[in-house]
Amino acid sequence: MKKLFVLLMLGLLLFVAACSSEGAASEGETDDSESNGTTANTDTAEESSEPQEKQVVTFWHSMGGAGQEALNAIVESYNNSQDKVQVNAEYQGSYDEALTKFNAVAGTDSAPTMIQTFEIGTMSMINSGNIVPIQEFVDADGYDMSGLEENIVNYYSLDGEFYSMPFNSSTPVMYYNKDAFEAAGLDPEAPPETFEEVEAAGRAIAEANPDMKGFALQAYGWLWEQLLANQGALLLNNDNGRTNTPTEIGWTEEEGKSIFQWVENMVNDETFANYGTNGDNMVAGFLAGDVAMFLQSSASSRDVIDNAPFEVGIAFLPHPEDKERSGVVIGGASLWMIDGKPEAEHEAAWDFMKYLQTPEIQGQWHVGTGYFAINPSAYDEQVVIDAYEEMPQLQVTVDQLQETQSSYATQGGLMDMIPQGRKIMETALETVYNGGEIDEAYDAAVEQFNAAIEQANAARGE
Amino acid sequence: MSMNSVAIRSHESMELIFEQAKKRQRMKSWIKGMLFLLPSIVLFGVFLFYPLLRTIYLSFFLTDASGETTVFVGWQNYMNIFTSPIFLQSMKSTFLFVLYTVPITVFISLFLAIIANEKLKGTGFFRTIFSSSMGISVAAASVFWLYLFNPTMGVLNRILEFFGMDAIGWLTNPDWALLAVSVTTIWMNIGFTFLILLGGLQSIDSYLYESADIDGAGYFYKLRRITIPMLSPTLFFVVTVTIINAFQTFGQIDILTQGGPQNETNLIVYSIYREAFVNYQFGSASAQAVVLFILILLMTALQFKFGERKVHYQ
């Protein structure tokens, strides 16, 4: 038995050795080819006096569809605008998937130079210790971050320090079918603003056209967080985790249940369209005229406007009648600088990040996707002004953000368990969609949410 | 006397040398055997045994987002999952899923294999068709079914509406979602099961049927008394493999429902994935994985104990 074990270990050792030597060999190869490249370059440099080989920056992102096209165009224009840096943008799947891949390669040579991570990944990125805070580059470069949109600065700066570079930001908005509003005798230019008005509009629409449902809410935890924030409610205690590590949920029973009640009213009225957790199906249903209103990120606005065979309206996120509208939390993602890379590579990536903040690029990005410009001076760009002429709806997303009151509620929750919390709320919402008891669904969700917070704190040894 | 003792001694030493040579021989053949086994020992060690031990180890800890252990919690992870309504729900769903998929898959495949085994013109064509779903990847098949189930433009709802019935939220209604995923899985598994069963049918000696014919046995009598018993080893294999596959279902869940609605289709493997790579709780994910491992081990052992008795090996 002992011999067997020794043999096994020996075998393992051999295997590992073979692996590592192979790795070393292939590394050597790439080194060779690189140095070949350099010599080739210096050869040409001697002839045409061109500078050194370009510094390569690997950029992992999660932009699919229209976003990917717009992003690739920007990266290409950056690569063509100068000859020192070559940015390679690599699509790595959804934010979740990219983050999982990143955690697997963090600290190795395969890690990218910079990665785009969603807003709720902020805390786990900081906790991971694999990143360089952007503030270091801002200070070293004397770069002025005050030009950025105020609400974005609020979200991404912690104790006055930027850990990541804001990039693509969106907020949730309500899309509605203007033609259906007209057919139901509603004013298409005065979309419903409160939960109660949405219910009434839904009833009117369903009455005018029995084949069309009034309203759809994707079971998506992010929308739940936004509907809370719009009432001025916190997601987590300790000021949404901004003053201290959260220990339990931050909303009150009244605030939380108002959303459930709203949905249940519409389910009972049979004006609610249930698409479960699938956002694509919901958009497809809207475009096909199955449902007249739905909530979704403003990032889809360009897609929806372009593809709808009818006039699309975009409105602010609804809120309960007895509450004042408090505004929305920034959604979307930011760019992180990864630790353990040569300084030249960091500098190159920093240069690219600065390029992304320029008004021209932000204008192009805003118009091409529906994410808003994080640099407000982009709104003065000609390309934006032209687009607003054609699609005034795009402006609503910007207005909503600028009317948001700055508070802990609209700064958004900050904790590493938020992805888990979202799943919990999605399950609870689905229960209500399918006719489940509100009280039961709500209590179960709160209990699980608190347990998740406790577990996350315990895992950090707190 | 002395001569005698010398002879005995030499005989003893001869025996000793012989013993040693035999030992060396045995050692040599053992090493040779091990060398032959080494590739698979190394591969299994690296890709199966090490991860298995590591999983068991992790299941006693809490971890950070990169999977490093932080706090030792003993059996706490196990206690948590067995009191968590989400995990209990996913256990229940998994058993229901196995119940929905395994018998139907095997029954349909058996039926198709028997009719495709008839020596008729054009059977080759049908054999290809029946086994074709084997050539489709889980992802492609799931996307295909996703379109069939689509609430707005899905064919299934169109058909229902044509007959004047209400549209069904196939993947969003908790009463239907698990059934919808099961239908998809059955469709996907039929190809493989069909092919194995057809192979089993074709390896049955034809003289058995010939003698039965001479005795004047009818079609169904032959099916019951010859085909099924002779096919039993293949059937046993197919049932075991389908059950294990059903317990490990992941791809179609990820694409069709993501475990929703209300965790109704959150099968164990998907729940493990979510726990580890969405919630970053590698500890409790590992505990779930260990539970799944024990479950499959038990199921397979039970099958060998009770199922194999009825199997007729030639």
In this structure, what token pair is assigned to residue B226?
């010859």
| Packing angle of the helix pair B282-302, B50-58 (nearest 10 deg) | 120
Dist. CA A90–CA A341, nearest whole Å: 18
Which stretch of DSSP H or E encloses residue A411?
Answer: helix A408-411
Q: Do B279 and A423 touch (CB under 8 A)?
A: yes
Q: What is the pLDDT of residues A191-239, one digit of tens each?
A: 999 999 999 999 999 999 988 999 999 999 999 999 999 999 999 999 9
Query: Using CB atoms and an 8 Å cut-off, which of residues 8-47 of chain A contact chain B?
Result: 8, 11-12, 14-15
Is some CB atom of chain B closer than 8 A to the CB atom of A149? no
Q: What is the pLDDT of residues A297-315, one digit of tens each?
A: 988 888 898 889 999 999 9
Averaged pLDDT, B279-294? 92
Q: What is the pLDDT of residues A336-382, one digit of tens each?
A: 999 988 999 999 999 999 999 899 999 988 888 888 888 888 888 88
Is some CB atom of chain A closer than 8 A to the CB atom of B64? yes
- Output the CA–CA distances (angstroms, integers) from residue A247 to A47, A60, A233, B276, in the order listed: 65, 33, 16, 22
pLDDT score at A258:
93
**Opening angle at CA A379, ends A158 and A167, nearest 5:** 35
pLDDT exceeds cutoff 60 at A17: no
- Substitution target from B64, B83, B143 for chain A, most A beta carbons within 10 A: B64
pLDDT score at A11:
54
Phi first, then psi: what are they for A95, rounded to 5°? -55, -45
B257 contact residues in A (CB cutoff 8 A): 276-277
Identify the architecture of domain B83-310 in CATH: Orthogonal Bundle (1.10)
Radius of gyration (C-alpha) of chain A in whole angstroms? 25
Averaged pLDDT, B93-114? 94
User: Where do the DSSP E strands lie in A109-212?
Assistant: 114-118, 131-132, 157-158, 161-162, 165-170, 172-177
Q: What is the largest CA-CA distance in chain B?
A: 113
pLDDT score at B135:
86
Domain ranges of chain B: 2-58, 83-310
Residue, of A27 and A408, whose pLDDT is higher: A408
Q: Do A103 and B172 touch (CB under 8 A)?
A: no
Q: Is A129 exposed, middle or buried, given 0-12, 13-18 or 19+ CB atoms closer than 10 A?
A: exposed
**Nearest CA-CA distance, residue B30 and chain A, Å:** 10
Percent of chain B with pLDDT over 90: 47
Q: What is the pLDDT of residues A240-283, one digit of tens each?
A: 888 888 999 999 999 999 999 999 999 999 999 998 888 888 99
Tell me the pLDDT band of A23, cut-offs 50, 70 and 90. very low
The answer to whether the beta carbons of residues A130 and B68 sit under 8 Å apart is: no
**Nearest CA-CA distance, residue B135 and chain A, Å:** 25
Residue, of B72 and B7, whose pLDDT is higher: B72
The residue among A144, A55, A72, A142 whose CA lies nearest residue A347 is A55
The residue among A269, A270, A272, A268 whose CA lies nearest residue A295 is A272
User: Where do the DSSP E strands lie in A291-410?
Assistant: 291-297, 312-315, 331-338
Cα nearest neighbour of B264 on chain A: A427
What domains does chain A contain, in order, with CATH numbers? 53-170+332-380 (3.40.190.10), 172-328+408-459 (3.40.190.10)
Tell me the pLDDT band of B291, cut-offs 50, 70 and 90. very high
pLDDT score at B47:
93
In this structure, what token pair is assigned to residue B29?
């053949």
Is some CB atom of chain A closer than 8 A to the CB atom of B45? yes
CA B112 to chain centre: 21
Is some CB atom of chain B closer than 8 A to the CB atom of A257? no
Q: Chain-wide mean pLDDT for chain B?
A: 88
Count the alpha carbons within 13 Å of A14 in the hemisphere toward its beta carbon. 13
pLDDT score at A50:
47
- The residue type of A350 is W
Is some CB atom of chain A closer than 8 A to the CB atom of B139? no
Q: Do A7 and B66 touch (CB under 8 A)?
A: no
The answer to whether the beta carbons of residues A255 and A209 sit under 8 Å apart is: no
In this structure, what token pair is assigned to residue A122?
């902020």
pLDDT score at B5:
64
HEC-encoded secondary structure of A192-245: CCEHHHHHHHHHHHHHHCCCCEEEECCCCHHHHHHHHHCCCCCCEHHHHHCCCC
- The residue type of A104 is A
pLDDT exceeds cutoff 50 at A35: no
DSSP assignment, residue A8? Answer: H
Q: What is the pLDDT of residues B23-72, one digit of tens each?
A: 999 999 999 999 999 999 999 999 999 999 999 999 999 988 777 888 89
Residue, of A3 and A307, whose pLDDT is higher: A307
Cα nearest neighbour of A275 on chain B: B172
Q: Chain-wide mean pLDDT for chain A?
A: 84
pLDDT exceeds cutoff 50 at B12: yes
Q: What is the pLDDT of residues A114-156, one digit of tens each?
A: 999 988 888 888 887 889 999 999 999 888 888 888 878 878 8
Dist. CA A408–CA A210, nearest whole Å: 42
Tell me the pLDDT band of A19, cut-offs 50, 70 and 90. very low
Dist. CA A174–CA A298, nearest whole Å: 9
Say what the ipTM of the complex is: 0.77
Averaged pLDDT, A177-202? 93
Averaged pLDDT, A94-116? 87
Tell me the pLDDT band of A6, cut-offs 50, 70 and 90. low
Tell me the pLDDT band of A28, cut-offs 50, 70 and 90. very low
pLDDT exceeds cutoff 80 at A51: no
Phi first, then psi: what are they for B162, rounded to 5°? -60, -40
Averaged pLDDT, A3-17? 51
Phi first, then psi: what are they for A247, rounded to 5°? -120, -15
Averaged pLDDT, A21-38? 39
pLDDT score at B153:
81
H-type helices in B64-154, by residue range? 76-83, 85-116, 123-131, 138-149
How do A331-338 and A312-315 pair as beta strands? unpaired
DSSP assignment, residue B188? Answer: H
**Opening angle at CA B128, ends B127 and B129, nearest 5:** 90
Cα nearest neighbour of A285 on chain B: B152
